[in-house]
Amino acid sequence: MTDELRIARTYYVSGSVQGVGFRQFTLRAARALGVAGYAKNLRDGRVEIYAIGPPEQLKTFRQKIELGPPAAAVWEVTEEPAQLLPRYGGEFSIEHEGW
């Protein structure tokens, strides 16, 4: 897939989204859709998700993260355009903030 067909977005997910398997859920959803990037917990209780993929896949991906896993309660998902970072172009992973 060429970069012209892919875009990048950063999502910030608020709610009860830490300690409930949200990042693992995101990893499975991303891999199922062929979305690359990462998910990581932030100190403020949100989850940050950086995602690369075709616009239609990212639309479906956002719909999935708006629901989250059964143990989560997603209150809000904000979305920002992001730069295509080649480092994350191949697969989806879970990253750690390093607190």
pLDDT at residue 91 greater than cutoff 60: yes
The reply to whether CATH 3.30.9.10 applies to domain 7-85 is: no
- The catalytic position among 6, 9, 23, 46 is 23
Among candidate residues 41, 43, 46, 62, the one labeled active-site is 41
Annotated active-site residue 87? The verdict is no
pLDDT at residue 16 tops 80? yes
Judged against a pLDDT cut of 80, whether residue 89 lies above it is answered with no
Quote the radius of gyration of the chain (alpha carbons, Å): 12
The mean pLDDT value of the chain amounts to 93
Could you tell me the two tokens for 1?
């897939």
Q: State yes or no: pLDDT of 83 exceeds 60.
A: yes
Per-residue pLDDT tens for 34-71? 999 999 999 999 999 999 999 999 999 999 999 999 99
Residue ranges of domains in the chain: 7-85
